[in-house]
Structure 1
Amino acid sequence: MSTSALRPGLRLEPVTADNFDAVCAISVRPDQSHLVSPVVKSLAEAFVHGESAWPRAIVDGDEVVGFVMAFLDLAWNPAKDPADIRSGLWRLNIDAAHQAKGYGRFAVHSVTDELSRRGATRAHVTWDQGAGTPEPFYLGLGFCPTGELSGGQVVGVLDLTARTV
């Protein structure tokens, strides 16, 4: 059963003028700050890359608890293989006060559902390796390392056609 079915008020919402301040106030734990960019940087990237960015607030009831941004249909390395078009998870920030409550899992499932609706068959993500990184989280969700690195980070892929949840 999905997290949203267990908590009906849990949803993704577009970032708007009404929730902008709450979204920008999302802050991960201090020991995680080197692993993920602040939300305000993500929103600036979404503005610059508007055709491919899909930024969303993670909302539970009336409270913004996190931020997620997907990338949609980008050429991964057009110089190497222009047909290598990818979509996936670009950024995930769960506020420090709301971690370990299923919000990250909900956000990743919501993004992969959106990608599936748009016709994607795979979802990509990158992560740092080592202690305290999100690697176990992504592996636990079924992402598999591809053997590639992007900016020193592991590239993972999830086969959306094989999902059971």
Structure 2
Amino acid sequence: MTTTAALRLEEITPENLKAALGVRVRPDQEFAVAPVANSLAEAYVRPDSAWPRLIMDGDRAVGFLMAFLDIDWHEDGGSVIRSGLWRLNIAAEEQGRGYGRFAVESVAEELHRRGTRELYVTWHPGDHGPEDFYLTLGFRRTGEITEGETVGVLDLN
């Protein structure tokens, strides 16, 4: 695990775009998360709800995250406004060093700062998926399934 003093989130800029696009998860995890390029395209067309950030350790790009802010989440015929973690890509060679935890905690801090009470996330169930990671961080399953993914929530109070 690295020291948190060197860890930070950076907005995606022309200067760090290439580093962001270079973040790749392990091949056995590719089923569970879209490539960074897809996330950046989605952020481009949803600028009011997407919050993409590069995860940096010193001068090294070690991951990418994208939060969703105040989206209309359709549930049982109705809708609610939710925010949470949309994407989390930790570079294959950087996994197991605490960067994922740092990313989730950073999103939780940002959402809490904005007055949000809950952080939502979805994950693909199965081998090599992130379910154990999210449950270890305190997320609980809501019982919902969306687009084949398990929905989890973390209380920010």
TM-score by length of 1: 0.92
2:105 paired with 1:109: yes
Shift in Å, 1:26: 0.5
What residue in structure 2 maps to residue 46 of structure 1?
A: 43
What residue in structure 1 maps to residue 14 of structure 2?
A: 17
What residue in structure 2 maps to residue 158 of structure 1?
A: 154
Aligned residues: 157
Q: Deviations over 1:34-90 (max 9, x none)?
A: 1110000000000011100000000000111100000000110178224x1100000
What's the secondary structure of 2:96's corresponding residue? coil
- Segments of 5+ residues of structure 2 without an aligned counterpart are none
Taking only the aligned residue pairs, the percentage that are identical comes to 55
2:117 paired with 1:121: yes
Q: Supply the distance in 1 between the matched residues of 2:153 and 2:45 (Cα, whole angstroms).
A: 25
Q: Supply the distance in 2 between the matched residues of 1:112 and 1:65 (Cα, whole angstroms).
A: 19
Which residue of 70, 73, 91 corresponds with 1:73? Answer: 70
Q: Deviations over 1:101-148 (max 9, x none)?
A: 000000000001000000000000001111111000000001111010
Q: Supply the distance in 2 between the matched residues of 1:7 and 1:56 (Cα, whole angstroms).
A: 17
Q: Supply the distance in 2 between the matched residues of 1:62 and 1:45 (Cα, whole angstroms).
A: 26
Kindly indicate which of the two structures has a greater share of residues assigned to strand. 2
What residue in structure 1 maps to residue 83 of structure 2?
A: 87
Off by >6 Å, runs of 4+ in structure 1? none
Q: Supply the distance in 2 between the matched residues of 1:9 and 1:28 (Cα, whole angstroms).
A: 21
TM-score by length of 2: 0.96
2:62 paired with 1:56: no
- Segments of 5+ residues of structure 1 without an aligned counterpart are none
